[in-house]
């Protein structure tokens, strides 16, 4: 429909010849183009219009400065280099205050702030050891230190080596001064990225530490004005210092209890759901086991476990097509899917073809979907079925799919009003947290100069609409979000009394 409407205007433009009608047609064509993007159909009330003036005053100033000084435009810089400058942006400060709704794509052990993660390494009884090129961490009682590795107590290492903390920090993050030389290609950054998951596994696999960490994750999201979370995880076994181990359903129970505790302490937080997302780099028998486990989780925790996904670097193989019988079994039992698919720059390889399988399997949302623009047959399906694409700007840049957010496929998806949500993926490992940093890049880098508060409002509403919440929960979430939104609009007008009108 949209293509048809633009075509009609172009034809009328060609058929006219006077100068006045040319300007008229030009204005119509631009207006038509701008009327399509995410959020463009929303109508702001008087207060929102005033708040929008403030926001857009800052956006135009920052955007136009970038247009004149392209080397300083933050969405064109690597996040590691631009992060501190983003934090000084007035646009970013407004986005931080904005009620952003739900966070729908992140991975459990990579969500909390890196500072908090590092502080956990000061806990007693933590040991470290090199194994197969990865620095591992694990809690032991003094009397039960494992003999599978040369485990050394961190407190001892710290007291004997003043540079130990610098070393340890480097094992918990991808952040480096010069990312281009540290990670020359996509495979090298993915290798370092996957290594961090292994490093933190033993630290966060301790049941008590995990509960503390997950509580902090929810608190950090809450503080970033996020009201609901859907997070993925491989569901590793857990342990405690008394020698107990926990697996499968028990681990889901530990997650669930922690979320319930947080909800009790912060009743206006709308809750969290868990997407069981084990590793894809496995054989069929292992996936048979995943299916059985997933069905068990759904039966025991139908209000907490949202569905299923598979994780791991897609370009290295193990595409969805390898597991169709198992995935069809899950589908037939009514399981919702949230597949990572098309997280790639390639075209015609198994990675982008994952998009076809995800859609044929009736996926509820698509993680990344970065390659979807190369497959026009999928456009209408995604729009008609409202299969939300989870766009993670910083992840895609750090993991080397894109350098400059203006060139991210998200810019075209946003301009064409695809169902999108903006997500954070693994913020801990690149020094981000919450959702605000990713929202900033979507607003400043992917959306056009003219996209305004309506775009941000639509993103927040999308995150509730495309969540796995039940209808009644969505209504409650919308109701809470609307009151937060009104307060946010009021606060902008109070906090920033000087309206900068530079339109
Ligand atoms: Zn992901």
Cβ neighbourhood burial of 8 (10 Å; 0-12, 13-18, 19+): exposed
- pLDDT of the residue at 3: 41
3-state secondary structure (DSSP) of residue 303: coil
- The residues that are catalytic are 343, 368
Ligand 1 centroid–CA 233 distance in Å is 10
For range 64-84, the mean pLDDT? 97
Ligand 1 centroid–CA 313 distance in Å is 10
With tokens 């999928």, the residue in question is 378
The confidence band for 496, taking pLDDT boundaries of 50, 70 and 90, is: low
CA angle (341, 345, 349) in 5-degree steps: 65
- pLDDT of the residue at 493: 92
Which residues on neighbouring strands pair with residue 217, listed in sequence order?
none
For residue 420, the tally of other CB atoms under 10 A from its CB is 24
For residue 100, the tally of other CB atoms under 10 A from its CB is 27
With tokens 């934090």, the residue in question is 87
The confidence band for 15, taking pLDDT boundaries of 50, 70 and 90, is: low
Closest CA relative to residue 468, chosen from 306, 269, 332, 277: 306
Taking only the tens place, the pLDDT of each residue in 141-180 is 988 888 899 999 999 999 999 999 999 999 999 999 999 9
The counts of H helices and E strands in the chain are: 21, 13
What span, in angstroms and rounded, lies between the C-alpha atoms of 207 and 215? 12
Burial of 259-286, coded b for 16+ CB within 10 Å and e otherwise, reads beebeeeeeebbbbbbbbbbebebeeee
Query: H or E stretch including 13?
Result: helix 2-15
Query: What are the sequence ranges of the domains in the chain?
Result: 97-115+188-485
Ligand 1 centroid–CA 107 distance in Å is 6
> Strand 420-422 to strand 238-239: parallel, antiparallel, or no bridges (unpaired)?
unpaired
For range 39-43, the mean pLDDT? 97
The DSSP 8-state label assigned to residue 500 in this structure reads -
The confidence band for 7, taking pLDDT boundaries of 50, 70 and 90, is: very low
H-only helix segments in 172-243: 179-182, 186-204, 207-223
3-state secondary structure (DSSP) of residue 12: helix
3-state secondary structure (DSSP) of residue 366: strand
3-state secondary structure (DSSP) of residue 101: strand
Taking only the tens place, the pLDDT of each residue in 207-243 is 999 999 999 999 999 999 999 999 999 999 999 999 9
- pLDDT of the residue at 17: 72
The Cα-based distances of 26 to 16, 21, 303, 424 in angstroms read 11, 8, 52, 38
What span, in angstroms and rounded, lies between the C-alpha atoms of 468 and 235? 19
pTM of the model: 0.94
Closest CA relative to residue 489, chosen from 224, 40, 97: 97
Q: Is the dihedral of CA 111, 344, 382, 373 positive or negative?
A: positive
Taking only the tens place, the pLDDT of each residue in 436-484 is 999 999 999 999 999 999 999 999 999 999 999 999 999 999 999 999 9
With tokens 């080596």, the residue in question is 161
What span, in angstroms and rounded, lies between the C-alpha atoms of 51 and 55? 6
Residues 6+ apart with CB under 8 A from 289: none
- pLDDT of the residue at 502: 40
Ligand 1 centroid–CA 427 distance in Å is 10
Q: For the chain, give the mean pLDDT.
A: 94
The confidence band for 10, taking pLDDT boundaries of 50, 70 and 90, is: low
Has residue 12 got a pLDDT over 80? no
With tokens 């996509």, the residue in question is 186
The Cα-based distances of 71 to 78, 91, 328, 401 in angstroms read 11, 19, 49, 20
Has residue 78 got a pLDDT over 70? yes
CA angle (365, 370, 373) in 5-degree steps: 100
Ligand 1 centroid–CA 341 distance in Å is 10
Topology at the third CATH level for domain 97-115+188-485 = TIM Barrel (3.20.20)
Query: H or E stretch including 229?
Result: strand 226-233
For range 128-150, the mean pLDDT? 93
> Strand 420-422 to strand 271-276: parallel, antiparallel, or no bridges (unpaired)?
unpaired
DSSP assignment of 143-163, as one string?
GG--SSS--EEHHHHHHH-TT
- pLDDT of the residue at 500: 47
Ligand 1 centroid–CA 106 distance in Å is 6
Ligand 1 centroid–CA 9 distance in Å is 41
What span, in angstroms and rounded, lies between the C-alpha atoms of 435 and 423? 7
3-state secondary structure (DSSP) of residue 107: strand
Has residue 501 got a pLDDT over 50? no
Ligand 1 centroid–CA 425 distance in Å is 5
With tokens 């701008």, the residue in question is 34
Ligand 1 centroid–CA 196 distance in Å is 14
């Amino acid at each position: 429909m949209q293509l048809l409407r633009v075509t009609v205007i172009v034809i009328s433009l060609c058929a006219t010849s006077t100068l006045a009608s040319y300007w008229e047609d030009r204005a119509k064509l631009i207006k038509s183009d701008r009327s399509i993007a995410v959020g463009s159909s929303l109508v702001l009330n008087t207060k929102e219009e005033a708040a929008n003036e403030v926001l857009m005053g800052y956006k135009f100033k920052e955007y136009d400065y970038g247009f004149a000084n392209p080397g300083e435009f933050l969405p064109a810089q690597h996040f590691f280099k631009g992060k501190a400058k983003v934090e000084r942006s007035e646009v970013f400060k407004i986005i931080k205050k904005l009620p952003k709704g739900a966070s729908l794509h992140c991975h459990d052990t990579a969500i909390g702030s890196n500072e908090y993660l590092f502080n956990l390494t000061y806990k007693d009884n933590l040991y470290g050891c090199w194994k197969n090129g990865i620095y591992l961490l694990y809690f032991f009682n003094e009397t039960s230190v494992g003999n599978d590795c040369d485990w050394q107590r961190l407190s001892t290492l710290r007291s004997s080596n003043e540079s130990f903390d610098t070393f340890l920090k480097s094992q918990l993050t991808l952040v480096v001064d010069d990312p281009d030389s540290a990670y020359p290609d996509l495979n090298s950054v993915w290798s370092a990225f996957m290594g961090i998951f292994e490093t933190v596994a033993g630290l966060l696999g301790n049941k008590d530490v995990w509960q503390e960490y997950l509580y902090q994750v929810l608190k950090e999201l809450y503080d970033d004005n996020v009201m609901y979370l859907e997070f993925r995880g491989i569901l590793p076994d857990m342990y405690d210092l008394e020698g107990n181990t926990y697996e499968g359903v028990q681990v889901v129970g530990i997650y669930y209890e922690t979320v319930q505790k947080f909800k009790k302490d912060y009743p206006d937080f709308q809750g969290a759901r868990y997407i069981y997302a084990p590793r894809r780099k496995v054989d069929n028998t292992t996936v048979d086991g995943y299916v059985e486990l997933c069905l068990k989780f759904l039966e025991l925790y139908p209000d907490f476990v949202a569905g299923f996904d598979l994780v791991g670097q897609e370009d290295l193989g193990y595409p969805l097509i390898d597991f169709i019988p198992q995935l069809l079994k899950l589908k037939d039992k009514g399981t919702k899917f949230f597949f990572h698919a098309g997280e790639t720059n390639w075209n015609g390889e198994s990675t982008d073809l994952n998009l076809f399988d995800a859609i044929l399997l009736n996926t509820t949302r698509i993680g990344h979907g970065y390659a979807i623009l190369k497959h026009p047959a999928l456009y209408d399906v995604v729009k008609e079925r409202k299969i939300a694409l989870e766009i993670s700007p910083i992840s895609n840049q750090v993991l080397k799919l894109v350098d400059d957010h203006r060139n991210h496929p998200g810019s075209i998806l946003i301009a064409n009003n695809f169902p999108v949500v903006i997500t954070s993926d693994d913020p801990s490992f690149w020094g981000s947290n919450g959702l605000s940093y990713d929202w900033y890049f979507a607003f400043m880098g992917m959306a056009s100069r003219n996209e305004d508060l309506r775009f941000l409002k639509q993103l927040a509403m999308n995150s509730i609409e495309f969540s796995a919440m039940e209808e009644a929960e969505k209504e409650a979430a919308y109701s809470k979000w609307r009151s937060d939104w009104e307060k946010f609009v009021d606060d902008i007008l109070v906090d920033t009394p000087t309206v900068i009108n530079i339109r």
